[in-house]
Amino acid sequence: MDPGLPLGKDAMAERNSLEDAGYILYSDMLDRLQQQFPDVAAWRISQVVGAEIDAMTGGVPRIVPAEVETGATEMLEREHGQVRRTGEVA
């Protein structure tokens, strides 16, 4: 480790625009963190990653898999059909 590199809160990565940011597979990142911190429980690593995602996005993702829209459409179509029949959403 380079002794000139900042540690702790000062070691935060520089913010990139969406176009400049690199993307990695979530599962690969979790695997790398688990290898880097073998004494930390997997649930804690996931929790820390989730907190970091929330901190960077404000809890609102800027991009999502395209399948999210497809799934949301299917759920809303089911709800809309139930609203018409029963007047309530199940």
Residue 5 pLDDT: 46
Average pLDDT over residues 32-45: 96
Average pLDDT over residues 10-19: 56
Average pLDDT over residues 77-90: 66
Whether the full predicted model's pTM is greater than 0.75, yes or no, is: no
- Chain centroid offset of residue 84 CA: 35
Q: Is the Cβ–Cβ distance between 47 and 53 less than 8 Å?
A: no
Q: How far apart are CA 17 and CA 72, in angstroms?
A: 27
Residue 24 pLDDT: 87
Comparing CA positions, the residue from 13, 8, 5, 7 lying closest to residue 55 is: 13
